[in-house]
Homo-oligomer: A and B are copies of this chain.
Amino acid sequence: MQLGLVGLGKMGFNMRERLRTGGHEVVGYDPRPEVSDVASLADLAGALEAPRVVWVMVPSGTVTHQTILALADVLGAGDLVIDGGNSRYTEDGPHAKLLGDKGINFIDAGVSGGVWGLKEGYGLMVGGSDADVARAMPIFDTLRPAGDVADGFVHAGPVGAGHYAKMVHNGIEYGLMHAYAEGYELLSAEDLITDPQAVIQAWTNGTVVRSWLQQLLAKALKEDPGFAAISGYTEDSGEGRWTVEEAISHRVPMPVIAASLFARFASRQEDSPTMKAVSALRNQFGGHAVHRISESG
On A, residues with C-beta under 8 Å from B are 10, 89, 112-117, 120-125, 127, 144-145, 147-148, 150-158, 160-161, 164-165, 168-190, 192-195, 198-199, 201-214, 216-217, 219-221, 224, 227-235, 237, 241, 243-248, 250-269, 271-296
Given contacts A184-B273, A271-B232, A281-B217, contact A125 B293 (CB under 8 A): no
Copy total for this chain: 4
Residue pair B180, A231 in contact (C-beta under 8 Å): no
User: What residues of chain B lie closer than 8 Å to A172, measured between beta carbons?
Assistant: 179-180, 182-183, 209
Residue pair A186, B252 in contact (C-beta under 8 Å): yes
Residue pair B232, A123 in contact (C-beta under 8 Å): no
User: What residues of chain B lie closer than 8 Å to A158, measured between beta carbons?
Assistant: 192, 194
User: What residues of chain B lie closer than 8 Å to A147, measured between beta carbons?
Assistant: 205
The chain B residue with its CB closest to the CB of A207 is: B123
Specify which of B258, B276, B279, B285 is in contact with A258 (CB 8 Å cutoff): B258
User: What residues of chain B lie closer than 8 Å to A195, measured between beta carbons?
Assistant: 154, 156-157
Residue pair A266, B264 in contact (C-beta under 8 Å): no
Given contacts A188-B273, A278-B177, contact A114 B293 (CB under 8 A): no
User: What residues of chain B lie closer than 8 Å to A211, measured between beta carbons?
Assistant: 176, 209-214
Residue pair B287, A114 in contact (C-beta under 8 Å): yes
Residue pair A157, B285 in contact (C-beta under 8 Å): no
Residue pair A231, B150 in contact (C-beta under 8 Å): no
CA distance A256 to B172 in the complex (A): 12
CA distance A89 to B201 in the complex (A): 21
Residue pair A206, B112 in contact (C-beta under 8 Å): yes
User: What residues of chain B lie closer than 8 Å to A192, measured between beta carbons?
Assistant: 89, 127, 156-158, 160-161, 164
Give the one of A175, A207, A216, A255 with max B CB within 10 A: A207
Give the one of A181, A244, A295 with max B CB within 10 A: A181
